Amino acid sequence: MVPAELLVAGDWTAIARAFAAAIERAVAGCPAGSVLVQVREKDLDGRPLLELVRAAQPFAPILVNDRLDVALAAGAAGVHLPERGLPV
């Protein structure tokens, strides 16, 4: 089990770096292709969310929750569209 972490920072670039470092630690030692990270951040604007996703991508494939625009801009592995989300 990965220990829980509290990430506190004053700017989104620092938060994105801390998030990426947490993802890197979480996937260390996992078999390649066995980890997928879903980013479910409902209160973030597009740019900070994009920074978060881009920072974590080198360490694991990322699914972006409910934000097709961010998933496409980041080149994410996919998007999770909830039932109340964007109709497809």
Q: Give residue-wise pLDDT tens across range 36-68.
A: 999 998 888 999 999 999 999 999 999 999 999
- Which amino acid appears at position 8 of this protein? V
- Residues pairing with 38 in the sheet: 63
> Rounded to whole angstroms, how far apart are CA atoms 8 and 77?
27
pTM of the model: 0.78
Phi, psi of 45 (to 5 degrees): -70, 170
- Residues pairing with 37 in the sheet: 62
| Residue 29: predicted pLDDT | 87
Closest by CA to 66, choosing from 36, 40, 46, 33, is 40
Average pLDDT of the residues of the chain: 85
Spatial contact of 24 and 30, defined as CB atoms under 8 Å apart: no
82 — pLDDT class (breaks 50, 70, 90): confident
